[in-house]
């Protein structure tokens, strides 16, 4: 019997996307003070990478309109990289003015999704991203590039592996320091992780590949751990499983950081994250959002009570 | 890069435990008519093994008091094995009178849990089970033996691997046709699956080992797929993720059949289950229970609506 995790790293980096990808998809508006405190609680929990906000158009994404104030006020912890999402050069200008040191750019593996999400074809967006990365590098910024809908598109269905590889290659050529390959709508299954990571193996240096899963159909953790088995070292997730799914109202959003950390720590894999402090951050933002976190691990750990059992508990 | 699923079977058997392990842990009482219809809907969905009820003491588990009526009235589909849980010889008598053809017996890997759950030590329960299996075999019944708390005990914490192996060996010696090794409280992580399946490899014939996971901390699917990667061919789950966790009120229960089927089918692994018909069964029982199924895949598939997207959907 072969241990499927024989090649797994002993330490992984979690990119916490709750304050951005999470809150952006929550209907409830959050005050700047609360966003700042949420970020600070996440930093205090030991998160090593934090997507703290997005410099997108305030008209398009009102939840992120206060990104300047968030970046001006969050505490910077040593050992944590604070990411600002920048869709274009205007966003980069705002990020530079806000003094950020790391940015995120994004496009899609599906042209239909790119056109719906950013009103550009993939190639048009790559031209924009090329200019953003060039200028970001002139300012010494670290750049992460996200590829959405790599596991499936809500508009065009299956996404060819070649399309994922092509976009990743273009983003690396443009100078991205890290790629985050995303299952935007949470349709992916572990065989796709094997296919995608395998196809990118020759292209992307070890350590420069991240995976980003949504738990819409319950596969986020299984997909992440498949990536882990294949040697992937960086995973995106959101505290409490924040964020909904705009394509399936009522469905769940990002994979939950608590579920990922619980599983990784159980497997003896270090994350640097304190699960108790992470729960404090999730509890804090849940009170502001007015609903309980959907993370299974969060729920179980918060609810743990005295033991009772009836015959036939299997 | 090694495909972690290279040794995975191409077809798996799902043992649907919703009508028993699921409903037993739901506070809402369900009428016999509704239990029968739930079982029939599950059969119609193609479930190959169905834990339809339990012949335990009605005083201890009132939710299962009508097991005779359920077994008298459910439709038997060709290709489906209908299991009745029998804690002791009195239960076996009732099962035989009800004309069942397959029974489940159960003990624990943790002595503390056995004493709390069935008021016997593990060894005392093995003596009872030995008598039950002997008589069941005389009547030509197929016998499944479940080992609860194999991944951790709510009373005594960590459970030694040796304790799991010892109980499994004793159950096989007693004549069990299949073992179901259970993470009763949903604390297990994939490394434990590797350890347990590895330790049982020499002992249990391929095809005679099943794994039973609860999703209390979000690990049910990842654990099942780790078992799959190791060659395990049978998995227990509950339609809709039925059942709570008596040790963490508000937390989730059995791993959801929909989540498992969605992932397996995505991986090209056959289950014989029709996911749409399975959702019909879950929808039916959810209406009777008065709460929505907690299965992520169920929720997403039911909620799927028109596509909308805002800039920065990653």
Q: Are A38 and A18 in contact (CB under 8 A)?
A: yes
Nearest partner of A101 among A78, A77, A82, A87, judged by Cα: A82
Q: What is the ipTM of this complex?
A: 0.95
Q: Are B217 and B229 in contact (CB under 8 A)?
A: no
Cβ distance A311 to B221 less than 8 Å, yes or no, reads: no
Mean pLDDT of B27-45: 96
Residues 6+ positions from A204 with CB-CB distance below 8 Å: A168, A172, A179
Mean pLDDT of A232-246: 91
Report DSSP state, residue A255.
P
Instruction: Please give the Cα distance from A175 to A164 (Å, whole number).
Output: 17
Mean pLDDT of B235-263: 87
Which positions of B are catalytic? 245
- How do residues A101-143 score in pLDDT, each as one tens digit? 999 999 999 999 999 989 999 999 999 999 999 999 999 999 9
Q: What whole-number percentage of chain B has pLDDT above 70? A: 95
Residues of A within 8 A of B247 (CB-CB) are: 304-305, 307-309
Q: Is A108 helix (H, G, I), strand (E, B) or coil?
A: strand
- How do residues A184-227 score in pLDDT, each as one tens digit? 999 999 999 999 999 999 999 888 999 999 999 999 999 999 99
State residue B79's pLDDT score. Answer: 94
Residues 6+ positions from A161 with CB-CB distance below 8 Å: A195, A196, A199
Tokens of B8: 């995975």
Best of B12, B62, B107, B222 to mutate (most A CBs within 10 Å, chain A): B222
State residue A285's pLDDT score. Answer: 97
Residues of A within 8 A of B268 (CB-CB) are: 191
Cβ distance B3 to A54 less than 8 Å, yes or no, reads: no
Best of A1, A2, A4 to mutate (most B CBs within 10 Å, chain B): A4
Tokens of A30: 């959050």
Residues of B within 8 A of A254 (CB-CB) are: none
Nearest partner of A297 among A272, A260, A270, judged by Cα: A260
Q: Residue A4 is nearest to which of B4, B61, B248, comparing CB atoms?
A: B4
Lowest average pLDDT, out of A27-31, A231-235, B188-192, B265-269, goes to A27-31
Average pLDDT for chain A: 94
Cβ distance A314 to B222 less than 8 Å, yes or no, reads: no
Q: Which residues pair with B11 in a beta bridge?
A: B270
Residue B25's pLDDT band (cuts 50, 70, 90): confident
Q: Are B67 and B54 in contact (CB under 8 A)?
A: yes
Question: How many CB pairs (< 8 A) connect A and B?
Answer: 267
Residue B60's pLDDT band (cuts 50, 70, 90): confident
Token pair 């074809």 is at which residue?
A121
State residue A305's pLDDT score. Answer: 60
Catalytic residue, chosen from A39, A86, A245, A307, is A245
Q: Residue A2 is nearest to which of B7, B225, B248, comparing CB atoms?
A: B7
State residue A1's pLDDT score. Answer: 77
Tokens of A177: 């320091």
Scored b (16 or more CB within 10 A) or e, A163-178 reads: bbbebbebbbebebbb
Average pLDDT for chain B: 94
Is the pLDDT at B46 greater than 80? The verdict is yes
Residues 6+ positions from B30 with CB-CB distance below 8 Å: B23, B38, B63, B285, B288, B289
State residue B207's pLDDT score. Answer: 87
Is the pLDDT at A306 greater than 70? The verdict is no
Instruction: Please give the Cα distance from A239 to B311 (Å, whole number).
Output: 21
Is the pLDDT at A246 greater than 90? The verdict is no
CATH class of A13-303: alpha beta
Is the pLDDT at A245 greater than 70? The verdict is no
Tokens of A116: 């719906």
Q: Residue B311 is nearest to which of A61, A187, A252, comparing CB atoms?
A: A61
Kindly report the number of other CB atoms within 10 A of residue B270's CB atom: 11
Residues of B within 8 A of A9 (CB-CB) are: none
Tokens of B301: 């598939």
Cβ distance B221 to A216 less than 8 Å, yes or no, reads: no
Token pair 């058997």 is at which residue?
B13
Cβ distance A313 to B184 less than 8 Å, yes or no, reads: yes
State residue B166's pLDDT score. Answer: 98
Nearest CA in chain A to B256: A218
Q: What are the residue boundaries of the structural domains of chain B, listed by start? A: 13-303
Kindly report the number of other CB atoms within 10 A of residue B1's CB atom: 12
Nearest CA to CA, how far is B78 from chain A (Å)?
27
Residues of B within 8 A of A64 (CB-CB) are: 312
Cβ distance A299 to B251 less than 8 Å, yes or no, reads: yes
Instruction: Please give the Cα distance from B268 to A191 (Å, whole number).
Output: 8
Q: Are A32 and A66 in contact (CB under 8 A)?
A: yes
Instruction: Please give the Cα distance from A210 to A21 (Å, whole number).
Output: 15
Residues of B within 8 A of A297 (CB-CB) are: 217-218
Instruction: Please give the Cα distance from A41 to A239 (Å, whole number).
Output: 11
Q: Residue A218 is nearest to which of B2, B186, B296, comparing CB atoms?
A: B296
Nearest CA to CA, how far is A154 from chain B (Å)?
6
Can you give chain B as a three-state secondary structure string? Answer: CCCCCCCCCCECEEEECHHHHHHHCCCCCCCHHHHHHHHHHHHHCCCCEEEEEECCCCCCCHHHCCHHHHHHHCCCCCCCEEEEECCCHHHHHHHHHCCCCEEEEEEECCHHHHHHHHCCCHHHHHHHHHHHHHHHHHCCCEEEEEEECCCCECCCECCCHHHHHHHHHHHHHCCCCEEEEEECCCCCCHHHHHHHHHHHCCCCCCCCEEEEEECCCCCHHHHHHHHHHCCCCEEEEEHHHCCECCCCCCCECECEHHHHHHHHHHCCCECCCCHHHHHHHHHHHHHHHCCCCCCHHHHHHHHCCCCCCCCCCC
- How do residues B151-188 score in pLDDT, each as one tens digit? 999 999 999 999 999 999 999 999 999 999 999 999 99
Residues of A within 8 A of B212 (CB-CB) are: 314
Report DSSP state, residue A294.
-
Cβ distance A300 to B184 less than 8 Å, yes or no, reads: no
Is the pLDDT at B248 greater than 70? The verdict is no
Q: Residue A249 is nearest to which of B216, B247, B303, comparing CB atoms?
A: B303
Tokens of B133: 């299996």
Best of A24, A95, A212, A218 to mutate (most B CBs within 10 Å, chain B): A218
- The angle subtended at Cα A226 by Cα B244 and Cα A148, nearest 5°, is 95
- How do residues B188-201 score in pLDDT, each as one tens digit? 999 999 999 999 99
> What Å distances lie between residue B185 and A205, A254, B55, B219, B289, CA to CA?
40, 24, 22, 11, 22
Residues of B within 8 A of A113 (CB-CB) are: 309
Q: What whole-number percentage of chain B has pLDDT above 90? A: 84
- How do residues B64-114 score in pLDDT, each as one tens digit? 999 999 999 999 999 999 999 999 999 999 999 999 999 999 999 999 999
Mean pLDDT of B242-252: 72
Nearest CA in chain A to B224: A222
Nearest partner of A229 among A211, A247, A253, judged by Cα: A211
> What Å distances lie between residue A265 and A12, A234, A270, B15, B139, CA to CA?
10, 15, 6, 29, 47
Mean pLDDT of B30-52: 98
Cβ distance B304 to A106 less than 8 Å, yes or no, reads: no
Element (H, E) at A150: none
């Amino acid at each position: 019997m072969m241990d499927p995790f024989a090649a797994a790293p002993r330490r992984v980096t979690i990119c916490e996307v709750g304050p951005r990808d999470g809150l952006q998809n929550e209907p409830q508006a959050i005050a700047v003070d609360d966003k700042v405190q949420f970020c600070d609680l996440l930093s205090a929990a030991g998160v090593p990478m934090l997507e703290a906000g997005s410099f997108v158009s305030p008209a398009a994404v009102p939840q992120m309109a206060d990104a300047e104030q968030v970046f001006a006020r969050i505490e910077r912890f040593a050992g944590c990289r604070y990411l600002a999402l920048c869709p274009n050069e205007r966003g980069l200008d705002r990020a530079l003015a806000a003094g950020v040191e790391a940015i995120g750019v994004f496009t899609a593996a599906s042209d239909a999704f790119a056109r719906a999400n950013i009103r550009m074809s993939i190639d048009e967006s790559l031209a924009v991203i090329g200019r953003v990365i060039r200028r970001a590098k002139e300012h010494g910024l670290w750049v992460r590039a996200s590829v959405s809908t790599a596991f499936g598109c809500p508009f065009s269905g299956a996404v060819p592996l070649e399309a994922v590889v092509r976009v990743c290659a273009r983003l690396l050529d443009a100078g991205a320091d890290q790629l985050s390959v995303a299952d935007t709508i949470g349709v992916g299954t572990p065989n796709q992780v094997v296919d995608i990571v395998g196809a990118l193996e020759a292209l992307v240096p070890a350590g420069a590949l991240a995976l980003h899963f949504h738990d819409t159909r319950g596969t986020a953790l299984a997909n992440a751990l498949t990536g882990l088995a294949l040697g992937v070292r960086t995973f995106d997730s959101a505290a409490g499983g924040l964020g909904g799914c705009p394509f399936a109202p009522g469905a769940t959003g990002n994979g939950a950081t608590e579920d990922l950390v619980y599983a990784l720590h159980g497997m003896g894999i270090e994350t640097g994250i304190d699960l108790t402090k992470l729960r404090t951050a999730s509890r804090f933002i849940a009170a502001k959002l007015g609903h309980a976190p959907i993370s299974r691990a969060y729920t179980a750990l918060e609810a743990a009570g005295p033991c009772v059992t009836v015959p036939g508990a299997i």
